[in-house]
Chain A
Amino acid sequence: MSFIGNLILATVRMAMPILFIALGELYSERAGMVNIGLEGLAAIGSLVGFLMCFITGSTWLGILCGALVAVLVNMIYAFATINLCADHTVYGMAMNIFAPALASFIYRVYFGKGSELSQITLMKGIGIPVLKDIPFIGALLFNQTPMVYIAILLVIVTVIFFSKTRAGLNYRAVGENPQAAATLGINVIRTKYIACVLCGALSGIGGAYLTTCYSNTYTEGNIAGRGFIALAAVIFGRWSGVGILIACLFFGFCDALQIRLQVMSIGVPYQFFQMIPYVATVLALTIIGGRKLGPKAAGKPYRKEQR
C-alpha cells in the first residue's frame, strides 16, 4: 500500500477512540452538560474493557462493561451537577483525577505487583463483502473492526437525531433554554441524565476501544490526553456530528503524520514533528472556535424555580 494509503489507515485508527469520546461529549453538551471529565471516563472504560476481555476473552463484553462502568462513574458528575447544581468544571476535573486513580487501583488489586506482561486478543477486522474489494478505498474503509463501522453509523444516527427528529429537537432545547423547554412539557432533568448516560457510555467505549481493538496491553495513562482532544473536537466540529467526525479525522491525521514524518528520516529534529498535533489543535481552535456556537445553557445549573 502507498504512503498515502497507510497514512489514511493510521488516521482512522488514531481517530476512532477520539470520535467515540467526542460524540459522548456532544450528547452531553447538547443537553447543557459540559463534561470535561472525559479523560477520566475513558480511563476507567479502558481498564474495565481490558480487564473483562482478559478474564472472559470477549472483546464485546469488554466494551460493554467498559461503557457500563463509565456510566456508573459519570453518575457522580450527573448527580452533583444536575441535582446539586454544582459547578460542571470542578466536577469534571474531579472525574479526571478520581477515575484514572480508580482504574490504577483496580488494576493493581487484580494483577498485583507482578511483572508479567498481560496481553489479550484484539477484536478482529471484518471486511464488508464486495465493498472491500474496491481498489484502494476498499481496504482502507471497508476492512476495519466492527467498532469503526459502529462509530460511523453513530455519526449518521447523531446527525439525523439532532436535525430530523422531534426528540432530537426537544433534546437540543434543553441545552439551549431549559426553562423554556420545561414549559413545553419536556422533562429537563431526565434529559440531562440521559445525556450523562450517553456521555459516560460513549467515553467508556472510546477508552475500551484502545484496549480491545487497538493495543493488546494495558498501560496506565494510555488515554494520553484523548479526552481533552475530544473536547477540542466538539468545538472544532461546531457541535455537529459530521463536524466532529472531520475534526477527529483531522486530529488523527496530524498524529499519524508526525509519526510517519519521524520515520521518514528527513533530518529534522523529532521534537518538531511531535509538536504538530498540538500546534494544529491550537490553530484549529483559534480559527474555528472563535465564535461561540455551542448550546446557550451549556455549563449552567438548571433550577426549576429559576426564571
Chain B
Amino acid sequence: MKKVMALLLAGVMALSVPAAASFADDGKEYKVAMICDSSINDGGWGAACYNAMVAAADENGWTYEVSDNIGQNEYYDSIAAYCALGYDMIYAPGNQYTDAVLQAAEEYPDIAFALLNGADTVPGEAVNGNVTSLLPNAQQIGWIAGALAGLMTKSGTIAFIGGMELDTTLGKYAGYGEAAAYVAKAEGREVKLLDPVYAGSFDASDKGIEFAKAMIDEGADVFFGDASAVDSGARQAIDEANKAAGEIKIYDIGQPADILGQNECVICSQVTDNSAMISVSMQAVEAGTFGGETIYGSLQNGGLSAGAMSDLVPEDVQAKYQEYLQQMIDETFMADAQ
C-alpha cells in the first residue's frame, strides 16, 4: 500500500516543473529533493533549509525540488515518491525524519539521504550505508544565542520556545541557558531561563503569539527559539509589546538564517550554513563516496556563526559579544566553568 501511495505521489510530483535544470561537471543531471513539515516561507527554519539547498544546488549544478507542509504520516511516502522519480539525493532537514529516512534508505540503496540534525549514530544504522547526518553543533547554537541574551537582558529573565521536544532542541536550550548564565555572571548578574515550552508543531504561529505574551508577562525580555513559524508568531507578539511600550526593550534572536530586519525586535541571528554541508554531500554523491558519515557544522569550520547585529545592541556589548564568540571558536569559552 505504501509503495502504491509513493507511486501515486511520484506521479503528482512528476507533473510539477523542476525548479531548475542544470548539469554537473560530469555531464550527468543530478537531482536533489527536500521534504519539510513546515513551510519554506516561514521566516525561519523551513526558509533557511530551503535556501541552503538552493544555494548548494546552484553551486554544484544540481536540479532541485521541494515538498513542504507535509504531515508526519507523509514523511515516508514523500521521500519514497522522490526516490521513485530517480532523484539522486533526498535532503531531510530535521531529526524528526530519522525513521522515514532509514526506512527509505533500506528500500532505495542507490539513493543518497542527507539528514540534517540527524544523530551521529544514524549513518551506522543505515544497512546500505547510504545515509549521512549533517549535524550542526546544537550546544554551540545555544551558546551563540545565549551569550548575547546574557549580555542584553535587563530583567534577568530569558525565554526559549520550541516546536517539538527533539534532541537537538534540548541541546540548543541547554547551550542557550548555560551561555547566558555564564556571561551574565561575568557581568555580575544572574539570569533565569524559563522552562522550554513546546507548541507541538512548527506551524502554529498563534501558539507562538500566546507563548510570547505569557513569557513577557513572566518578565522575559530576550527570546530564542527552534520552532519555525511558531517563532514568527512570537516575534509578532514581541513587536506588539514593544509598540505598546513605546520603545524596543524586548528582543528576539533569530535562527537559523540571518533575519535581521524581518522584525523590529530581532537584534541578531544565530546562522547555520547548511548549504556548505549539503554541498559537501552533493560532491560526495558525484564522487561516489557518499554515506556512512556525519558532517559536523561548528563555529570552528564556519558552519555556525552569528549574523549581523542590530543598532539596538550597544557598541560595547557588541565588542564583548565578539570576544565571547572568539572564545567559542578558540574552545576556551566557559573553560573555567567546566
In Å, the complex CA distance between A270 and B200 comes to 10
Our pick among A6, A14, A217, A221 for the contact of B43 (Cβ within 8 Å) is A217
In Å, the complex CA distance between A221 and B200 comes to 13
B205, A115: Cβ atoms closer than 8 Å: no
Our pick among B66, B165, B195, B229 for the contact of A219 (Cβ within 8 Å) is B229
Our pick among B66, B197, B206, B213 for the contact of A270 (Cβ within 8 Å) is B197
A222 interface hit (Cβ, 8 Å) = yes
Which residues 217-246 of A sit at the B interface, judged by CB distance below 8 A? 217, 219-222, 224
A205 interface hit (Cβ, 8 Å) = no
Return the CB mask of A108-126 against B: 1 if under 8 Å, else 0: 0001011111110000000
Among A83-91, A153-161, A254-262, which stretch is in contact with chain B? A254-262
Smallest distance from the beta carbon of A22 to chain B beta carbons, Å? 17
B209, A221: Cβ atoms closer than 8 Å: no
By beta carbon, the residue of chain B nearest A262 is B197
B-side interface residues, number (CB < 8 Å): 39
Smallest distance from the beta carbon of B48 to chain A beta carbons, Å? 8
Our pick among B50, B203, B213, B214 for the contact of A115 (Cβ within 8 Å) is B50
Return the CB mask of B192-219 against A: 1 if under 8 Å, else 0: 0011111011011111011101110110
How many residue pairs bridge A and B at CB < 8 Å?
A: 102
By beta carbon, the residue of chain B nearest A5 is B217
B262, A117: Cβ atoms closer than 8 Å: yes
Smallest distance from the beta carbon of B229 to chain A beta carbons, Å? 5
Given contacts A219-B42, A219-B205, A263-B214, contact A270 B47 (CB under 8 A): no
B121 interface hit (Cβ, 8 Å) = no
Q: Report chain B residues within 8 Å CB of A262.
A: 195, 197-198, 211, 214
A222, B214: Cβ atoms closer than 8 Å: no
A215 interface hit (Cβ, 8 Å) = yes
Our pick among A6, A117, A267 for the contact of B213 (Cβ within 8 Å) is A6
B203, A220: Cβ atoms closer than 8 Å: yes
A145 interface hit (Cβ, 8 Å) = no
Our pick among B214, B229, B236 for the contact of A260 (Cβ within 8 Å) is B214
Return the CB mask of A179-210 against B: 1 if under 8 Å, else 0: 00000000000000000000000000000001
Smallest distance from the beta carbon of B177 to chain A beta carbons, Å? 12
Smallest distance from the beta carbon of B221 to chain A beta carbons, Å? 14
Q: Report chain B residues within 8 Å CB of A210.
A: 206
In Å, the complex CA distance between A305 and B46 comes to 57
A115, B41: Cβ atoms closer than 8 Å: yes
B19, A113: Cβ atoms closer than 8 Å: yes
In Å, the complex CA distance between A195 and B69 comes to 33
B255 interface hit (Cβ, 8 Å) = no
Given contacts A221-B69, A222-B205, A270-B197, contact A215 B214 (CB under 8 A): no
In Å, the complex CA distance between A214 and B194 comes to 25
Q: Report chain B residues within 8 Å CB of A263.
A: 194-195, 197, 211, 214-215, 217-218
Q: Report chain A residues within 8 Å CB of B69.
A: 104, 220-221
Q: Report chain A residues within 8 Å CB of B198.
A: 262, 270, 274
A214, B206: Cβ atoms closer than 8 Å: yes
Q: Report chain B residues within 8 Å CB of A260.
A: 214
B210, A113: Cβ atoms closer than 8 Å: no
- Size category of the A interface is 35 or more
A256, B217: Cβ atoms closer than 8 Å: no
A217, B51: Cβ atoms closer than 8 Å: no
Our pick among A10, A119, A219, A274 for the contact of B39 (Cβ within 8 Å) is A219
Q: Report chain A residues within 8 Å CB of B236.
A: 119, 215-217
In Å, the complex CA distance between A267 and B196 comes to 11
Which residues 206-263 of B sit at the A interface, judged by CB distance below 8 A? 206-207, 209-211, 213-215, 217-218, 229, 232-233, 236, 262
Q: Report chain A residues within 8 Å CB of B213.
A: 6, 10
Q: Report chain A residues within 8 Å CB of B40.
A: 113-115
B211, A259: Cβ atoms closer than 8 Å: yes
B233, A215: Cβ atoms closer than 8 Å: yes
By beta carbon, the residue of chain A nearest B70 is A220
In Å, the complex CA distance between A10 and B211 comes to 10
Smallest distance from the beta carbon of A255 to chain B beta carbons, Å? 8
Our pick among A216, A224, A264 for the contact of B204 (Cβ within 8 Å) is A224
In Å, the complex CA distance between A14 and B233 comes to 14
Q: Report chain B residues within 8 Å CB of A115.
A: 40-41, 46-47, 50-51
Which residues 123-163 of B sit at the A interface, judged by CB distance below 8 A? none
In Å, the complex CA distance between A3 and B215 comes to 11
Smallest distance from the beta carbon of B333 to chain A beta carbons, Å? 27
Smallest distance from the beta carbon of B20 to chain A beta carbons, Å? 11
B203, A14: Cβ atoms closer than 8 Å: no
In Å, the complex CA distance between A194 and B237 comes to 39
Which residues 1-60 of A sit at the B interface, judged by CB distance below 8 A? 1, 3, 6, 10, 13-14
In Å, the complex CA distance between A116 and B42 comes to 8
A222, B47: Cβ atoms closer than 8 Å: no
A-B contact pairs, 12 of them (CB 8 A): A14-B210, A111-B41, A115-B41, A115-B47, A117-B41, A214-B206, A215-B233, A217-B205, A217-B229, A221-B203, A263-B214, A270-B198
- A-B complex: 9 closest residue pairs judged by Cβ atoms: A117-B43, A265-B195, A115-B47, A263-B214, A219-B203, A220-B69, A262-B197, A215-B205, A219-B229
Chain A interface (Cβ within 8 Å of chain B)?
Answer: 1, 3, 6, 10, 13-14, 104, 111, 113-119, 210, 214-217, 219-222, 224, 255-256, 259-260, 262-265, 267, 270, 274
